Amino acid sequence: MNYDRILIRYGEISTKGRNRNKFVEKLKRSVMTVLRPFPKIRVEASRDRMYVILNGENGIEIIEKLKHIFGIQSFSPAIKVERNVEALKQSSLELVKSLYKEGQTFKVTPKRSDKTFELNTDGINHTVGGYLLQNIPGLRVDVRNPDINLRVEVRNEAIYLSCENILGAGGLPGGSSGKAMLMLSGGIDSPVAGYLAMKRGLAIEAVHFFSPPFTSERSKEKVVDLTKKLAGIYGSAIKLHIVPFTDVQQAIREQIPENYTMTTTRRMMLRITDEIRNKQEALAIITGESLGQVASQTLESMFTINEVTNTPILRPLITMDKTDIIKIAHEIDTLEISNRPFEDCCTIFVPASPKTKPRREKVQHYESFFNFNPLIEEAVQEVETLVIQPYDQHSEFDSLF
């Protein structure tokens, strides 16, 4: 028997009170975006659930796509049945028959959100269960651990039958948490940080610091490819801001004692990112930092670097081990791109022994001898903004997950 729709359950959205409509609207938009390759489907959203009406489109392919949309807790292929007992019995029989394999067990799980239906839950249980037992030889009841669990949901407008409950990706719908700037290097960590932020409903714009001729076109290409992968997650374009950073870095090298260049470099990167954030009206900055991973990621370093802004800095990886980060990078298919050789602007002038415990007073003192503001302004003025489309949504979207 062919399912005619997929019932989507929202999960965490349902705890969002008055914001609920906005969340449902965002989720609907995500679903419609990802299901663009299926023009005949229709999406019906209400406050507590959503239906994808298949209209003959391939349900199996659609199920695969739905598994990766943030904001969906679970979903079930379902059949809509008229609200009458005969129709309920017939459709239940057809559905269970189509799934039944010899020797299997079943149970009926009725749910009535509309109490005016002529059968109560016990009545549904007996009527439907009895009818199935009569008509499918060998079928047995097992209420604890059935092979087939037929859910019968009686609602105002109709009855819905389903047997499978498929786990969704969780998280919050795309863009429902607002917008943040992702500091995207060519490394392993920052794309993973971007992915996790997107899972919590953040829309992102990427910022990349580029220092030609010390960093090559190839490193830029790498960041473009990583952004493409991230764009595939929501199935929509992401802005990538490329910041020309060479002049700032040269000035740092000339003005700052060697063991503090890394600290100042990070502070300048953060200041520039914050200016771009302000222009783009985002409310936070995301980085791929993980506590203690390298010299710039000790608590003392973060304290000193973070001084330059009070914008929230989100660090989704802060407590994660490298092995766990690599695992996610592999799952989201960014690992291979990140592993391509490249030069990062932060590694080219790396001092032999960067301070692992830089102090605010010291760095303020060193920076006070030179006015970095004009260079920062110039870098912001000369940002090149690319709009990166996702990898071909039709063929490559799947490989993302």
Backbone φ and ψ for 241, nearest 5 degrees, come out as: -100, 120
Residue with tokens 């559905």: 95
Closest to ligand ATP by CB, 73 vs 293, is: 293
**Among the listed residues 191, 281, 259, 257, the one whose alpha carbon sits nearest the alpha carbon of residue 229:** 191
351 CB-side CA count, 13 A: 20
249 binds Mg ion (CB under 5 A): no
Site string for ligand ATP, 304-343 (x = CB under 6 A): ----------------------------------------
- Asked if residue 111 lies in contact with residue 7, where contact means CB atoms within 8 angstroms, the answer is no
Q: Which residues contact 323 (CB under 8 A, 6 or more apart)?
A: none
- CA atoms 216, 218, 220, 226: torsion sign: negative
Q: CB under 6 A: which stretch of 21-29, 143-151, 177-185, 381-389 binds ligand ATP? A: 177-185
The strand ranges marked E within 211-314 are: 238-244, 285-286, 313-314
> Counting contacts by CB under 6 A, is residue 294 touching ligand ATP?
yes
The DSSP bridge partners found for residue 400 are: none
Q: Which stretch binds ligand ATP (CB under 6 A): 8-16, 25-33, 92-100, 293-301?
A: 293-301
Element at 155 (helix H, strand E) = none
- Report the partner that residue 190 touches, choosing among ligand ATP, Mg ion, none (CB closer than 5 to 8 A by kind): ligand ATP
Contacts (CB under 6 A) with ligand ATP, residues 154-173: none
Measure the CA–CA gap between 13 and 361, rounded to whole angstroms. Answer: 45
Q: Kindly state the smallest distance separating residue 185's Cβ from Mg ion, in Å.
A: 4
Q: Which of 207, 284, 203 is nearest to 237 (CA)?
A: 203
Residue 317 beta carbon to ligand ATP: minimum distance, rounded to whole angstroms: 8
**In terms of Cα–Cα distance, which of 361, 342, 385, 374 is closest to 248?**
374
Q: Which of 184, 196, 242, 400 binds ligand ATP (CB under 6 A)?
A: 184
Task: Identify the CA nearest to 71 among candidates 45, 95, 96, 94.
Answer: 45
211 binds Mg ion (CB under 5 A): no
Residue 248 binding: pick among Mg ion, ligand ATP, none (C-beta 5-8 Å cut-off by kind): none
Q: Using CB atoms, what's the residue nearest to ligand ATP? A: 187
Query: Binding Mg ion by CB under 5 A: which of 185, 215, 249, 263?
Result: 185
Q: Looking at 209, 234, 372, 397, which residue binds ligand ATP (CB under 6 A)?
A: 209
Nearer to Mg ion, 193 or 198 (CB): 193
Neighbour tally for 43: CB within 10 Å: 16
Which of 187, 191, 235, 390 contacts Mg ion by CB under 5 A? 187
Which is closer to ligand ATP, CB of 225 or CB of 344? 344
* DSSP H or E run through 208: strand 202-210
By CB under 5 A, is residue 265 in contact with Mg ion?
no
Question: Are the beta carbons of 239 and 387 closer than 8 angstroms?
Answer: yes
Nearer to ligand ATP, 153 or 289 (CB): 289
Q: Which residue numbers belong to the known binding site?
A: 183-184, 208-209, 266, 288, 297
Question: Can you list the positions of beta strands (E) in 67-173?
Answer: 72-81, 105-112, 140-141, 148-154, 159-162, 166-170
Q: Write out the binding residues for ATP.
A: 183-184, 208-209, 266, 288, 297
Rule CB under 5 A: which of 327-346 touch Mg ion? 344
The residues that touch Mg ion, with contacts defined as CB under 5 A, are 185, 187, 344
The residues that touch ligand ATP, with contacts defined as CB under 6 A, are 183-185, 187-190, 207-209, 287-289, 293-294, 296-297, 344-346
